[in-house]
């Protein structure tokens, strides 16, 4: 890449860090994902620098630094002026032992070549001087970029024993970049999936979330996870969808796994983590509820999945707890799985129930999940269009207005607070949503006259 092109892309903060290090007589390069993305014509998210300067020398050169990773030769520089922090790492060689399955037991400061050889994949071990355009490639990363492949540096099994999360990272990079995984690297993944037992649930969760949200075609992430054996290791409930047949009149595309992969591939981009996980897990309850039987006496035999949404919601909850997902995300995804069949009943819903559905905070994702579900099987979007039109009708007014009848109104009507309040208030709000007059009319409808009862005036 030309020096002019490189300089034009590098933000001022990262450029200033590089310049300061070089002015002090040190080597300094951009390294890792930012170089890979620049060479692919993609916009980097982070800008990392590597140098022969020791951590204490880096700290002495910059006014504001954070030494969180200093034990591993990493100092974060805060350039100021609104510029993003820049991670500066000293060239190092790592010991092969990683007691925690992530961090080396010891490090030694080294040179650029040794630094490159301890990294994960060749495409992430490229060094760039944006001032000159020079690229340093010690591992064949440029050839792998050209061939669009993810290849581990050196002995792939050793790389994965150092940090087993790298196996999931291989899948993520391949899915996000549209690359393949080199044969030897894939074989090493397939032989070492058990190593993921040494990786924290949070790190596994973050990789899964990133691959399903960042990959332009998220179905590729699913297929690579499956091919590598990682799917069975981290999401056995999803792997169990393989071979679970569905009625061909509703699902001509194939089994539950094929259906789910097709939905993932149709997801809009960009997308939320909530939607991606909702799509991935929406039919996770089908394998345990699958039954081949007659739905009616004398009727045809076919596959059924009774209560699969409710069962799937419980499974999704367990999966996301296992992955230590944040509570809010877990609860939302569980609701998407639990309610993904509700929208099919929308045209026959009473007005109040329909408005409640339209006013659900998750309605947008539920509607998109329904659209993808339909497109990936029978292709009929009549109920989707019904709901889209219904939502548009309420665009100029709140779908769920404030309730006219509240608990204090029931007390004023002579009722003592109790368990029945909730049901009465629910009935009152349903009547309001269905257009049943004013507060007095609604109270009259939910509180039939009884001897000795007080009635609201008017």
What pLDDT does 75 receive? 95
Higher pLDDT pick, 108 / 306: 306
**H helical segments located in 92-182:** 112-117, 141-147, 156-162, 165-177
Report how far apart, in Å, the C-alpha atoms of 153 and of each of 29, 106, 183, 203 are. Answer: 19, 20, 13, 22
Of 13-27, 92-106, 242-256, the poorest mean pLDDT is in 92-106
How does DSSP classify residue 137? E
Instruction: Give the model confidence (pLDDT) of 173-192 as tens digits.
Output: 999 999 999 999 999 999 99
What pLDDT does 82 receive? 85
At residue 458, does pLDDT exceed 80? no
- The band of 145, judged by pLDDT with boundaries at 50, 70 and 90, is very high
How does DSSP classify residue 196? G
Q: What is the mean pLDDT of residues 74-98?
A: 87
At residue 50, does pLDDT exceed 50? yes
- The band of 414, judged by pLDDT with boundaries at 50, 70 and 90, is confident
Q: Provide the residue count of the chain.
A: 458
Q: What is the mean pLDDT of residues 114-128?
A: 96
Higher pLDDT pick, 433 / 253: 253
What pLDDT does 169 receive? 98
Of 15-19, 115-119, 239-243, 289-293, the poorest mean pLDDT is in 289-293
pTM, rounded to two decimals: 0.84
Q: What is the mean pLDDT of residues 20-30?
A: 97
CB 285 within 8 A of CB 315: yes
Check if CATH label 1.10.8.350 holds for domain 153-234: no
At residue 104, does pLDDT exceed 50? yes
Contacts of 97 (CB under 8 A, 6+ apart): 104, 105, 106
* Mean pLDDT rounded to a whole number for the chain: 89
What is the rounded distance in angstroms from the CA atom of residue 154 to the CA atom of residue 162? Answer: 12
3-class secondary-structure state, position 128: strand
Instruction: Give the model confidence (pLDDT) of 255-288 as tens digits.
Output: 999 999 999 999 999 999 999 999 999 999 999 9
What pLDDT does 129 receive? 94
Q: How many CB atoms lie within 10 A of CB 211?
A: 24
3-class secondary-structure state, position 260: helix
What is the rounded distance in angstroms from the CA atom of residue 11 to the CA atom of residue 19? Answer: 12
At residue 70, does pLDDT exceed 60? yes
What pLDDT does 155 receive? 96
At residue 300, does pLDDT exceed 90? no
What pLDDT does 216 receive? 96
Instruction: Give the model confidence (pLDDT) of 366-375 as tens digits.
Output: 999 999 999 9
Q: What angle, 0 to 180 degrees and rounded to 10, lies between the N-to-C axes of helices 363-375 and 273-281?
A: 50
3-class secondary-structure state, position 122: helix
At residue 413, does pLDDT exceed 90? no
At residue 3, does pLDDT exceed 70? no
Q: What is the mean pLDDT of residues 60-69?
A: 90
Sign of the alpha-carbon dihedral angle for 274, 276, 282, 284:
negative
Tokens, residue 388: 């889209």
Q: What is the mean pLDDT of residues 236-244?
A: 96
What is the rounded distance in angstroms from the CA atom of residue 171 to the CA atom of residue 135? Answer: 26
The architecture (CATH level 2) of 3-147 comes to 2-Layer Sandwich (3.30)
Q: Which helix (H) or strand (E) holds 87?
A: strand 86-90
What pLDDT does 394 receive? 73
CATH fold, domain 242-393, is Hypothetical protein af1432 (1.10.3210)
Task: Select the highest-mean-pLDDT range: 174-178, 301-305, 422-426.
Answer: 174-178
What pLDDT does 352 receive? 81
- The band of 105, judged by pLDDT with boundaries at 50, 70 and 90, is low
What is the rounded distance in angstroms from the CA atom of residue 206 to the CA atom of residue 442? Answer: 49
Report how far apart, in Å, the C-alpha atoms of 99 and of each of 162, 163, 187, 188, 372 are. Answer: 9, 10, 24, 21, 44
- The band of 410, judged by pLDDT with boundaries at 50, 70 and 90, is confident
Q: Is beta strand 107-109 parallel, antiparallel or unpaired with respect to 74-77? A: unpaired
DSSP count for the chain of H helices, then E strands = 24, 13
What is the rounded distance in angstroms from the CA atom of residue 265 to the CA atom of residue 271? Answer: 12
**∠ CA 390-392-393, rounded to 5°:** 65
At residue 306, does pLDDT exceed 80? yes
Domain ranges of the chain: 3-147, 153-234, 242-393, 401-458
Higher pLDDT pick, 99 / 11: 11
What is the rounded distance in angstroms from the CA atom of residue 55 to the CA atom of residue 23? Answer: 17
Report how far apart, in Å, the C-alpha atoms of 199 and of each of 202, 230, 233, 251 are. Answer: 8, 13, 12, 37
Nearest to 33 by CA among 237, 229, 234, 172: 172
What pLDDT does 395 receive? 67
How does DSSP classify residue 121? B
At residue 165, does pLDDT exceed 60? yes
Q: What share of the chain has pLDDT > 70, as a percent?
A: 91
Q: How many CB atoms lie within 10 A of CB 415?
A: 16
């Amino acid at each position: 890449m030309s020096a002019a092109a490189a300089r034009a892309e590098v933000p001022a903060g990262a450029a200033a860090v590089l310049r300061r290090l070089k002015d002090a007589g040190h080597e300094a390069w951009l390294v890792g994902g930012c170089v890979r993305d620049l060479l692919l014509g993609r916009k980097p998210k982070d800008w990392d620098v590597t140098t022969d300067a020791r951590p204490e020398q880096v700290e002495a050169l910059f006014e504001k630094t954070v030494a969180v990773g200093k034990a591993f030769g990493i100092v974060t520089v805060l350039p100021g002026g609104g510029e993003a922090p820049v991670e500066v790492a000293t060239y190092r060689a790592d010991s092969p032992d990683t007691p925690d399955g992530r961090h080396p037991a010891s490090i030694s400061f080294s040179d650029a070549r040794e630094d490159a050889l301890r990294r994960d994949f060749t495409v992430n071990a490229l060094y760039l001087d944006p001032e000159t355009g020079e690229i340093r490639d010690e591992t064949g990363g440029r050839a792998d970029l050209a061939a669009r492949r993810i290849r581990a540096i050196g002995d792939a099994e050793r790389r994965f024993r150092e940090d087993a999360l790298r196996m999931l990272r291989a899948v993520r990079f391949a899915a996000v970049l549209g690359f393949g995984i080199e044969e030897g690297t894939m074989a090493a993944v397939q032989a070492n999936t058990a190593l993921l037992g040494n990786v924290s649930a949070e790190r596994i969760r973050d990789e899964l979330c990133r691959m399903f949200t960042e990959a332009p075609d998220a179905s590729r992430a699913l297929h690579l996870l499956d091919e590598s054996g990682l799917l069975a290791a981290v999401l056995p409930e999803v792997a169990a969808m393989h071979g679970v047949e569905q009625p061909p009149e509703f699902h001509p595309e194939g089994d539950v796994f094929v259906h789910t992969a097709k939905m993932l591939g149709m997801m809009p981009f960009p997308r939320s983590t909530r939607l991606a996980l909702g799509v991935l897990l929406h039919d996770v309850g089908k394998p345990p509820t699958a039954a081949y039987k007659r739905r009616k006496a004398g009727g045809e035999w076919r596959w059924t999945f009774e209560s699969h949404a409710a069962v799937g919601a419980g499974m999704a909850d367990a999966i996301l707890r296992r992955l230590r997902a944040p509570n809010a995300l877990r609860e939302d995804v569980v609701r998407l799985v639990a309610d993904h069949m509700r929208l099919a009943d929308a045209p026959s819903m009473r007005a109040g129930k329909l408005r409640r559905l339209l006013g659900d905070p998750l309605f947008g994702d539920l509607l998109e999940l329904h659209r993808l579900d339909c497109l990936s099987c029978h292709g009929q979007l009549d109920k989707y269009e019904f709901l889209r039109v219904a939502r548009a009708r309420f665009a100029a007014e709140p779908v769920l207005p404030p309730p006219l009848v509240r608990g204090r109104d029931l007390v004023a009507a002579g009722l003592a607070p109790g368990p029945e309040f909730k049901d009465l208030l629910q009935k009152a709000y349903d009547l309001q949503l269905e257009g049943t007059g004013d507060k007095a009319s609604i109270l009259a409808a939910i509180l039939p006259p009884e001897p000795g009862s007080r009635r609201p005036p008017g």
